[in-house]
Structure 1
Amino acid sequence: MKLLIINPNISRDVTHLIESEATRSIYPGTELTLATAPFGVAYIETRAEALIGGYAALQIAAEQHAHHDAIVVAAFGDPGLAALREVMPIPVVGMTEAALVSACQHGGRFSVIAISQRIQAWYRECITAYGFAERLASIRALDEPLAHIGRVQEDQGERLVALANQAVEQDGADVLILAGAPLAGLARTVATRLPVPALDGVTCAVTQAQAMASMEIAAPVAGSFALPPEKPCSGLGPALARLVGRQPTDT
């Protein structure tokens, strides 16, 4: 089995964190291909940035999905996930959806621990869109500027653990989601310091991607996730044009 794991932001330090945690979560024989967005922002925390990240993920998937069995979108908020499922012939799993499903299998209510205050509104919208709003106990987030996105765990690890404990003690969380690719691996590191299960989105997504690939379910040929209708397109790279318009571009 071979998984394509896409980091929709431009931080290669974050890609390394994703790779380290994903490597711990794969079955024997599973191979990983890691890809970092060629354009965009260092980390995604707004709707606009998520839209850019989704386009980057779509472009990477179009160019690299061949010879892979599943795709993981390795950013909380799942930029481009629905669009990818619409055009990809293989399963596509997002960190957020995977973590939310897993959290609901471990307890009644969950809290999300995030890296910035600004990110909260978008996270809440994503959780609501997935239908899990009633299970959300809280979102607690760091309130300090991030010096370096690749060192959040080292710089803010103690603060993140404190927020997680507050979510349990004050908000009634049965499960914790340590959200975002910059926190990949942290749940495993601090598990013994938390009184309830702590989930890592990378772990959840990689595990579910392997399970979905193993099911060998055919891609849809009808319904809203069937391939888009053929139409002329312009300005897209050849790989993406073949998926979206399936017509030659004029570039």
Structure 2
Amino acid sequence: MRIQVINPNTSAHMTDAIGDAARAVAGPGTEILAVNPADGPPSIEGHYDEAMAVPGMLAKVHDGEQAGVDGHVIACFGDPGLMAAREVAAGPVIGIAEAAMHMASLIAPRFAVVTTLDRTRIIAAHLAEQYGMARHCCAIRATEIAVLELDDPASDARARITAECRAAIEQDRAEALVLGCAGMADLPRALSDELGVPVIDGVGAAVKLVESLVGMGLGTSKAGDLAYPVAKTYTGDLGRFSP
């Protein structure tokens, strides 16, 4: 089985870390292809960044389909372009926020999301509503750490993330925690050991869901809403995306 894990931003260093996290949970016989687009924002921290990242991400979905991958993971917690990617793909496409929230709801009645900048909290809240997870999501907390600062020792990211996780448990009564950025994918086990509650990383959760769907012989339905895009010629700079 081959799963393409797409980091929709252009940070190759983050892509490498995401790929390592995906391989750490992948089952025997699963090959992880971690990729990112060449064009787009270096990090995704708002609605505009998300919109600008989608074309490059969709191009990677198309490339993966041409290469015969079995499924895709969209490794950004905003799940940008998820439904469009499902139109393009034959196999399953899973977003990491979608995966993490559903996984958390299976093991705890109340979970909190700990994310990066405060401005991204509303995106996570909208997704919780969209996925039917709002009744399980008791809080969305921001660390005010920029995405590209997560692996910078000067940012003290680990301590700040841990502090917000602890506050979610003590103040919001969270019984599980969801890490709200693919750049935190290396932290769940250590945080869980330290805090005593399950900590879910969306990259790992999405990989396991894709593995399960592919293993069951299930792909994206092409009847109705997620049928392949209607063939037409796009104009201008978007001509290369013509379906």
Structure 1 96/147 Cα, relative in aligned 2: closer, same or farther at 3 Å? closer
Structure 1 220/144 Cα, relative in aligned 2: closer, same or farther at 3 Å? closer
Alpha-carbon RMSD: 1.9
Aligned amino acid, residue 217 of structure 1:
L
Structure 1 236/146 Cα, relative in aligned 2: closer, same or farther at 3 Å? closer
C-alpha separation in 1, matches of 2:4 and 2:146: 31
Aligned amino acid, residue 40 of structure 1:
G
Tell me which residue corresponds to 1:38: 38
TM score, norm. by length of structure 1: 0.89
Please say if residues 150 and 157 of structure 2, whose CA atoms lie closer than 8 Å, have aligned partners that are also in contact: no
Structure 1 153/70 Cα, relative in aligned 2: closer, same or farther at 3 Å? farther
Instruction: Determine what percentage of the aligned residue pairs are the same residue.
Output: 32
Q: CA deviation at 1:64?
A: 2.6
Please say if residues 13 and 150 of structure 1, whose CA atoms lie closer than 8 Å, have aligned partners that are also in contact: no
Structure 1 29/153 Cα, relative in aligned 2: closer, same or farther at 3 Å? farther
Please say if residues 71 and 92 of structure 2, whose CA atoms lie closer than 8 Å, have aligned partners that are also in contact: yes
Say whether 1:214 aligns with 2:215.
Answer: yes
Tell me which residue corresponds to 1:164: 165
- Matching of residues 200-211 of structure 1 within 5 Å: 200-211=201-212
Q: CA deviation at 1:195?
A: 2.4
Structure 1 147/207 Cα, relative in aligned 2: closer, same or farther at 3 Å? closer
C-alpha separation in 1, matches of 2:93 and 2:41: 22
Structure 1 157/56 Cα, relative in aligned 2: closer, same or farther at 3 Å? same
- Matching of residues 46-61 of structure 1 within 5 Å: 46-61=46-61
Partner of 2:135, secondary structure, is helix
Q: CA deviation at 1:146?
A: 6.5
Tell me which residue corresponds to 2:6: 6
Aligned residues: 241
Q: CA deviation at 1:153?
A: 10
Tell me which residue corresponds to 2:75: 74
C-alpha separation in 2, matches of 1:92 and 1:27: 18
Unaligned runs of 5+ in 2: none
Q: CA deviation at 1:148?
A: 2.9
Deviates more, 1:94-103 or 1:9-18: 9-18
Partner of 1:134, secondary structure, is coil
Aligned amino acid, residue 102 of structure 1:
M
C-alpha separation in 2, matches of 1:228 and 1:40: 22
Please say if residues 86 and 220 of structure 2, whose CA atoms lie closer than 8 Å, have aligned partners that are also in contact: no
C-alpha separation in 1, matches of 2:13 and 2:63: 22
Deviates more, 1:209-218 or 1:24-33: 209-218
C-alpha separation in 1, matches of 2:147 and 2:223: 45
Structure 1 102/230 Cα, relative in aligned 2: closer, same or farther at 3 Å? same
C-alpha separation in 2, matches of 1:106 and 1:72: 22
- Matching of residues 1-251 of structure 1 within 5 Å: 1-65=1-65, 66-143=67-144, 148-151=149-152, 155-234=156-235, 235-236=237-238, 238=240, 240-241=241-242, 244=243
Please say if residues 88 and 228 of structure 2, whose CA atoms lie closer than 8 Å, have aligned partners that are also in contact: yes
Unaligned runs of 5+ in 1: 245-251
Deviates more, 1:82-91 or 1:96-105: 82-91
Structure 1 25/195 Cα, relative in aligned 2: closer, same or farther at 3 Å? same
C-alpha separation in 1, matches of 2:100 and 2:147: 24
Please say if residues 153 and 182 of structure 1, whose CA atoms lie closer than 8 Å, have aligned partners that are also in contact: no
Structure 1 10/222 Cα, relative in aligned 2: closer, same or farther at 3 Å? same
C-alpha separation in 1, matches of 2:85 and 2:153: 29
Structure 1 227/4 Cα, relative in aligned 2: closer, same or farther at 3 Å? same
Q: CA deviation at 1:121?
A: 1.4
Aligned amino acid, residue 79 of structure 1:
P
